[in-house]
Chain A
Amino acid sequence: MKKYFWVLLPVFLLLMPTMIAHADVIIEPTDEFYLFNAGECEYLGKSFYADGGASVKKEPGSDDEVAVVESNAEVYVYCTYGYEGETWGLMVEKEDVLQSYGWVLMDELLPVTIANPSTGEPHIAPLPVILLVTFLALGTVILIRLFWKPKKSGT
Chain B
Amino acid sequence: MAVNMNGVSAALAISLALTLALETAFFLLTGKRNKKDLLLTILVNTLTNPVVVLTYWLSVFYMGWSRVIVKGVLELWAVLTEARYYKKYGQEFRRPFFFSITANAFSFGTGAFLQKLI
Give A contacts to B, CB under 8 Å.
1-2, 4-5, 8-9, 12-13, 15-16, 19-27, 30, 38-39, 43, 45-46, 94-99, 121-126, 128-130, 133, 136-137, 140-141, 143-144, 148-151, 154-155
Contact = CB atoms under 8 A, between A and B. Distances in A.
Interface residues of B, number: 67
Contact of B116 (A1, A30, A43): A30
Contacts of A25: 15, 18-19, 22, 49, 107-108, 111
A8 B25 CA distance: 13
A100 to B, nearest CB: 10
A140 B36 CA distance: 14
Nearest to A127: B5
A80 to B, nearest CB: 11
A141 to B, nearest CB: 6
B88 A155 contact: yes
Interface of B: 1-12, 14-15, 18-19, 22, 28-31, 36, 40, 43-44, 46-54, 56, 58, 60-62, 66-68, 71-72, 74-75, 78-79, 85, 87-91, 101-102, 104-109, 111-112, 115-116, 118
26 contacts: A2-B30, A4-B29, A13-B102, A16-B101, A16-B105, A19-B109, A20-B72, A21-B75, A23-B108, A24-B52, A27-B10, A27-B11, A27-B115, A43-B60, A46-B4, A123-B2, A123-B5, A126-B58, A126-B62, A129-B8, A129-B54, A130-B58, A133-B51, A137-B47, A141-B47, A154-B87
Residue in A5, A12, A98, A143 whose Cβ sees the most chain B Cβ within 10 Å: A12
A144 B40 contact: yes
A46 to B, nearest CB: 7
A140 B60 CA distance: 26
Nearest to B20: A25
A153 B100 CA distance: 19
Nearest to B30: A5
A23 B78 contact: yes
Contacts of A12: 102, 105-106, 109
Nearest to B68: A21
A1 B5 contact: no
Nearest to A16: B105
A25 to B, nearest CB: 4
Contact of B5 (A124, A136, A151): A124
